[in-house]
Amino acid sequence: MESTLKRTWAEIDLDALEHNYRRLRERIGPAVKFLGVVKADAYGHGAVQVSRLLQELGADYLAVSSIDEAMELRDNGITMPVLILGHTPKEQVGRLIDMDITQAVTCRAKALEYSAEAARLGGTLRIHIKVDTGMSRLGYLCAGRHFDTGVQGICDACRLPGLEAEGIFTHFAVSDEPDEGSAAYTRAQFELFRRVIEATEREMGRPFALHHCANTGAVASWPDTWMDMVRPGLLLYGCGDFAAGLGLRPVMTLKTTISTIKVYDPGTSVSYGRIFRTDRPTRMGVLPYGYADGFLRSLSNRCALMTDHGPAPQRGKICMDMCMIDLTELPQVQVGDEVEIFGRRAGVNDLAALAGTIPYELTCAVSKRVPRLYLRGGAAVERELLLRF
Ligand SMILES: *Cc1c(COP(=O)(O)O)cnc(C)c1O
């Protein structure tokens, strides 16, 4: 279904995505496989469209966070390998097998229930073992005194009926942080991961086909950790501190238009809470872009949005469906003009820094009522609005 409004929309530049993929491929070389992380609707970019392009370009693997996200890909023609990073209830094992989806196994209890269910169904579930080397989230605990029990648990899982252990992976906590303490932590995580791999493979007498750990920070800064496959998300979308340095381009540009302009007398208060008051005759534009579209209300009165003639300060509290920008210094800007919230001209990193958050949160926050417009060679090739008509 198509939106009839030209309100607020996200342009997804598929050429930039292809460019980023190719640049990253060049960086890692032909011996390393490429897993594209497309969880959370590809960080707000559209998991189906992003995955289709990655599949066409020859990426090796995709990763999502849940079985629902995996099913969305299979239902939309994605046939390449897909890894679920999060938990799947054991009742769904049959569907994982039917859809040929790879499941992360994070502890003994999960290994046992997945094995029992797969064996009951007479099928084989492909798994990747997740090792906790210091993220302290999911995975077999292997640090310090847990090393031997961790290794034993992993070997036990790999020998269970109904499970085929294709891969082993871990996740870094601070691979994107430049300070020496973080670097030491990343090195220690990687060292532990290598020791776990060595011990489990020695005990089992065979290697895993895929060892992987490199997220965005590690793809950018830690070539030693690339192993058999890298696993970037953010870099693919051309966001974050490393993107520009690696020659990557932002994939999403979020845009809106000016719906009304009014001129207020000095002393006029603007929006809820009256936190902004004009101190001169003020030419104020209203944008149909508010917190229900993904604008963070905490940015109220603290940011500027990019017009064709320069940045316009945002004024007053951000509302659910609208916000106001000050056009007093930009008399050329007119009703109907486009305003860029973030993207090609106004980097998402800067807006995220202002909000005290990370770019991931801003692209994920772009809500379902914002249509995505997919561009190839500058022309729209697809439009998607995630509303029920
Ligand atoms: C989200 C995620 C990634 C990708 O992280 P980026 O920082 O976006 O590269 C990789 N691996 C796991 C396990 C993840 O959860």
pLDDT per residue as tens digits for the range 245-295: 999 999 999 999 999 999 999 999 999 999 999 999 999 999 999 999 999
**Residue 375 to residues 3, 11, 45, 381: CA-CA distances in angstroms?**
16, 7, 12, 6
Residue 373's DSSP bridge partners are 11, 383
HSE-up (13 A, CA, CB side) for residue 218: 23
User: d(Cα 173, Cα 177) in Å, to the nearest integer?
Assistant: 9
Query: Please, which residues have CB within 8 angstroms of residue 327's CB and are 6 or more apart in sequence?
Result: 258, 261, 283, 284, 285, 307, 312, 333
pLDDT digits (tens, 9 = 90+) for 128-139: 999 999 999 999
User: d(Cα 337, Cα 262) in Å, to the nearest integer?
Assistant: 15
pLDDT at 5: 62
Q: How much distance in Å is there from the Cα of 211 to the middle of ligand 1?
A: 15
Residue 287 host element (H or E): strand 282-287
Neighbours of 245 (CB within 10 A): 8
| 264: annotated active-site residue | no
pLDDT digits (tens, 9 = 90+) for 79-112: 999 999 999 999 999 999 999 999 999 999 999 9
Whose alpha carbon is nearest atom 7 of ligand 1?
216
Give yes or no for residue 85 CB within 6 A of ligand 1.
Answer: yes
Give yes or no for residue 232 CB within 6 A of ligand 1.
Answer: yes
| 1: pLDDT strictly greater than 50 | no
User: d(Cα 29, Cα 272) in Å, to the nearest integer?
Assistant: 54
Q: How confident is the model at residue 150 (pLDDT cuts 50, 70, 90)?
A: very high
User: d(Cα 254, Cα 8) in Å, to the nearest integer?
Assistant: 7
Whose alpha carbon is nearest atom 4 of ligand 1?
233
Q: How much distance in Å is there from the Cα of 242 to the middle of ligand 1?
A: 15
- Spot the catalytic one: 33, 39, 110, 255: 39
Q: How much distance in Å is there from the Cα of 217 to the middle of ligand 1?
A: 9
| 39: annotated active-site residue | yes
Whose alpha carbon is nearest atom 15 of ligand 1?
85
pLDDT digits (tens, 9 = 90+) for 324-334: 999 999 999 99
User: d(Cα 83, Cα 209) in Å, to the nearest integer?
Assistant: 14
pLDDT digits (tens, 9 = 90+) for 187-230: 999 999 999 999 999 999 999 999 999 999 999 999 999 999 99
Closest C-alpha among 173, 171, 187, 180 to residue 222: 187
Which pTM was predicted? 0.96
Closest C-alpha among 310, 324, 337 to residue 278: 324
Give yes or no for residue 171 CB within 6 A of ligand 1.
Answer: yes
Give yes or no for residue 37 CB within 6 A of ligand 1.
Answer: yes
| 3: pLDDT strictly greater than 70 | no
User: d(Cα 118, Cα 97) in Å, to the nearest integer?
Assistant: 8
pLDDT at 67: 98
* Residue 356, token pair as written in the block: 């005290």
Whose alpha carbon is nearest atom 12 of ligand 1?
171
Of all residues in the chain, what percent carry a pLDDT higher than 90?
A: 96
Give yes or no for residue 104 CB within 6 A of ligand 1.
Answer: no
User: d(Cα 72, Cα 95) in Å, to the nearest integer?
Assistant: 13
pLDDT mean over 57-85: 98
Give yes or no for residue 290 CB within 6 A of ligand 1.
Answer: no
Closest C-alpha among 269, 280, 319, 325 to residue 302: 325
Helix and strand numbers (H, E) in the chain are 11, 21
pLDDT mean over 161-168: 98
Residue among 50, 61, 102, 231 whose CB has most ligand 1 atoms within 8 A, to mutate: 231
Starting at the edge strand found earlier in the chain, the sheet holding 282-287 runs: 260-264, 282-287, 323-326, 310-315, 304-307, 338-342, 252-257, 8-13, 372-376, 379-384
Going by the DSSP 8-state scheme, the letter that residue 41 receives in this structure is: H
pLDDT mean over 175-186: 97
pLDDT at 209: 98
Shortest-distance atom of ligand 1 to CA 171: 13
pLDDT mean over 5-31: 95
HSE-up (13 A, CA, CB side) for residue 200: 30
pLDDT at 187: 98
Give yes or no for residue 278 CB within 6 A of ligand 1.
Answer: no
Give yes or no for residue 33 CB within 6 A of ligand 1.
Answer: no
Query: Please, which residues have CB within 8 angstroms of residue 102's CB and are 6 or more apart in sequence?
Result: 81, 82, 83, 84, 126, 127, 128, 166, 167
**Residue 143 to residues 138, 191, 193: CA-CA distances in angstroms?**
13, 11, 9
Look over the chain and give the mean of its residue pLDDT values, rounded to a whole number.
Answer: 96
Give yes or no for residue 216 CB within 6 A of ligand 1.
Answer: yes
Shortest-distance atom of ligand 1 to CA 215: 9
User: d(Cα 372, Cα 23) in Å, to the nearest integer?
Assistant: 24
Residue among 171, 241, 361 whose CB has most ligand 1 atoms within 8 A, to mutate: 171
